[in-house]
Structure 1
């Protein structure tokens, strides 16, 4: 496993990358190999829809690779920001594929991605004040405040088409093209900060939560119903960590509240998924979140999370030694010996209670549920055994070496 920068992480069997490396890069002016040409043609074939469908691949190739927005930037170099944005509105936004609700095949259309690359080239090097103006211009031009209000006031999934439009517009136009994390954090902060914290969590899920590739439907209840895969949760974790590490407008308490709200939307997540989210957020952030609970005396919640962190380590192939080290670090921030003892006892009680709940569920479940319940109980028993093995290794290390 490749370690995260400045971060200790649990070892695992398979490679795990926290921040996805999916970036849209402008190609250089001269293609050096047939491989690049083939890749661009495949991009055209796979994503080209809407008005782009009638453009021959050679012209599409030239627009993206040779012009790329730089020509537009140079042509408008002497214009003030307001005039440049007017030009964008009067010229670029005439293309329906660059507008919200303008394309009938939104999920497959490359219009937003192309608009995002052009916009990134245009505003590269602009200061924050000018970028604020760009965000306000885009929001007002697309009537985004009203559309987002409609989404956050509706039942999750009730406005599927609008949810998809908002997600793809923000992701493809403002968020996915930047190479530097601080730039992504700036735009994500602009999107989230105008809203109350509960809506910030909902919008973060809207932008980075799991989504069906086939129909563009956001899986709002995925985290509340079934154990989520690492792939379906790491986008959310990467976004939260991004805000924590790169955005000066977010305090530690803001991030903790955001995590709490996120894990409670649209209903309470499965504890396994909450634990997996914390692990994907990285070692430092995970410890800070758990230590905050310890300082505030929420020891039973903390013990429950430790048990499910152990379960995730067992299921996802992380080293259980990481969980034991985490418990050791947390004990150091708990004020009294009595509270530390209560915390350790609570962990054992949670292990016993969760195991008994699984046994009862297995006894009374139908045949169709047996396989899933048995698999969960198998992993929980193994997690408990591995956890205690690591505890004993640390306790008796002096006589074992």
Structure 2
């Protein structure tokens, strides 16, 4: 028997200093291996105090360093929101006459871009439904209707800032998720009710609602698009649920000429642009929208574009032929050729002659070459089946010139500011005739 078993166990001698050192090293190693390192030692309140001194872009970068850091910053974002009252107060217009300077507007837009990055990264593991709930919360805070001090919606940058925020958050999302985003936002603020009211009413009756719709859709969904693909997608989301007539109405509502927050529905039915600058202002955005839809062939066919263009130029009344010509020239050869060929096939020769005459006038006014008109005429003639229609078309063009010149001579008042119209019309006829003669006697003149 071992007598040591009956003796008391004697503790081996060991230095207290070494024990403390070992515990300290073990604790240090445990902290280093932790998810937040030395930062995890601090209490939560102190962590939030430190995070408060970081910039928004720094916070967004920290969210992608680790899951633990993302959770911490997400908690900080929820409990101490970056979208504070003073920032919301600054984005709303407080002066009816003087909007925010461009530099301040740019700073605010950049700030919301950074906030969008923070939201995108901190909620990257959330479901689309939860992320959209946060987006709608931001929208509710930024709506001009919810701000008591917003005096001028047209000059307010709140929706522009929200648009940048939104596009930053949803960058890289699938089309189905973006479609859910559109449906969620529009239903959240009930704007589709106003859209239905406007498109089913006489143009101009609900001018305030028209301005709000134009401002919201353009600043939130369209103006912040970074590519043609994005713009085509959002424009399709806005237009597709409606019949063709309402689609044309909405395009004009979004991109037609506007003065003092009021869409000029009848301007293109009654007046023509004075110069190229005014022409670009009136028709540039409309033409660009039609070009984008024509490019987005997975949703829009050539017949769709022609139908929309036909409805657009006859709403709310028939446009002046010169305005139709202005729009077609800015739309480009592809859309113009399809439009004119469609009219030629359907036997609308009078309309074609009016547009052709106006093409000549527009080219003369803007110092364009009439070679463009001859190319369009060739497309029209090729679309006609028989020589009788072609002859009727050419005769109709010359008769249209004659009628317009006689009307200008008889009815135009020099005091109306249209004293140069006669000059442009006669010059257009002269240049057009020269081009036709050159084409007819090309072989003889080249000898």
Native 8 Å contact 1:174 1:187 kept in 2: yes
- Against the structure 1 CA distance between its residues 170 and 59, is the aligned structure 2 distance closer, same or farther, given a 3 Å change threshold? closer
Question: For 1:348, which of 398, 409, 419 is the aligned residue?
Answer: 398
The equivalent residue for 2:286 is: 236
Structure with larger Rg: 2
TM-score, normalization: structure 2?
A: 0.72
1:71-86 superposed matches below 5 A? 71-86=118-133
- Root mean square deviation of aligned Cα: 2.8
Structure 2: state its 5+ residue gaps. 1-56, 59-89
Once the two structures are TM-superposed, the CA of residue 154 in structure 1 deviates from its matched residue by: 3.1
Q: Distance in 1 between matches of 2:136 and 2:127?
A: 14
Aligned length: 349
The equivalent residue for 1:321 is: 371
Q: Distance in 2 between matches of 1:62 and 1:171?
A: 15
Native 8 Å contact 1:293 1:302 kept in 2: yes
> What secondary structure does 2:263 align onto?
coil
Q: C-alpha offsets along residues 237-266 of structure 1, whole Å, 9 cap, x if unaligned?
A: 111111111242222221111111111112
The equivalent residue for 1:124 is: 171
Alignment partner of 1:150 is 2:197: yes
Alignment partner of 1:107 is 2:154: yes
- Against the structure 1 CA distance between its residues 313 and 225, is the aligned structure 2 distance closer, same or farther, given a 3 Å change threshold? same
Q: C-alpha offsets along residues 56-87 of structure 1, whole Å, 9 cap, x if unaligned?
A: 96995596277241111001100011010111
1:2-401 superposed matches below 5 A? 49=93, 64=111, 67-97=114-144, 103-212=150-259, 215-228=260-273, 229-231=278-280, 232-362=282-412, 365=413, 368-369=415-416, 371-372=417-418, 374-401=419-446
Q: Distance in 1 between matches of 2:113 and 2:320?
A: 49
TM-score, normalization: structure 1?
A: 0.80
- Against the structure 1 CA distance between its residues 278 and 102, is the aligned structure 2 distance closer, same or farther, given a 3 Å change threshold? farther
Native 8 Å contact 2:211 2:261 kept in 1: yes
Q: Distance in 2 between matches of 1:376 and 1:77?
A: 61
- Against the structure 1 CA distance between its residues 190 and 217, is the aligned structure 2 distance closer, same or farther, given a 3 Å change threshold? same
The equivalent residue for 2:45 is: none
Q: Distance in 2 between matches of 1:158 and 1:241?
A: 29
Structure 1: state its 5+ residue gaps. 1-28, 31-45
Q: C-alpha offsets along residues 1-37 of structure 1, whole Å, 9 cap, x if unaligned?
A: xxxxxxxxxxxxxxxxxxxxxxxxxxxx79xxxxxxx
Q: Distance in 2 between matches of 1:73 and 1:185?
A: 23
Once the two structures are TM-superposed, the CA of residue 104 in structure 1 deviates from its matched residue by: 3.5
Greater relative contact order, per chain length (Cα 8 Å cut-off, separation 6+): 1
Q: Distance in 1 between matches of 2:384 and 2:148?
A: 53
Q: C-alpha offsets along residues 361-381 of structure 1, whole Å, 9 cap, x if unaligned?
A: 14xx5x633x41x32121111
- Against the structure 1 CA distance between its residues 100 and 163, is the aligned structure 2 distance closer, same or farther, given a 3 Å change threshold? farther
Native 8 Å contact 1:98 1:111 kept in 2: no
The equivalent residue for 2:3 is: none
Native 8 Å contact 1:69 1:119 kept in 2: yes
Q: C-alpha offsets along residues 183-223 of structure 1, whole Å, 9 cap, x if unaligned?
A: 111111111111122211111111001112xx322212211
Q: Distance in 2 between matches of 1:142 and 1:160?
A: 19
Q: Distance in 1 between matches of 2:147 and 2:288?
A: 26
Once the two structures are TM-superposed, the CA of residue 307 in structure 1 deviates from its matched residue by: 0.9
Q: Distance in 2 between matches of 1:343 and 1:131?
A: 48
